[in-house]
Amino acid sequence: SSGRATGVHLHFELLRFRQPVDPSAYLVFHSNVAKR
């Protein structure tokens, strides 16, 4: 992002020992979330 985001958004960062980690191994995605 350019730092000029004006809409609602989320910055999510996962660090382990101060190193970036891919969060996909820790998150569970469900296809029906949008239906709720």
Contacts 24+ apart (CB under 8 A), 18-22: none
Number of other residues whose CB lies within 10 A of the CB of residue 14: 13
pLDDT band (50, 70, 90) for residue 2? low
Domain ranges of the chain: 10-36
pLDDT band (50, 70, 90) for residue 32? low
The structure's pTM equals 0.45
Distance, CA of 23 to CA of 13 (rounded, Å)? 8
Tell me, what's the pLDDT at 21? Answer: 93
Q: Which is more confidently placed, 31 or 12?
A: 12
Q: Compute the half-sphere exposure of residue 33: CA atoms within 13 Å on the CB side of its CA.
A: 4
Contact 23, 14 (CB under 8 A): yes
Tell me, what's the pLDDT at 26? Answer: 80
Q: Which is more confidently placed, 28 or 13?
A: 13
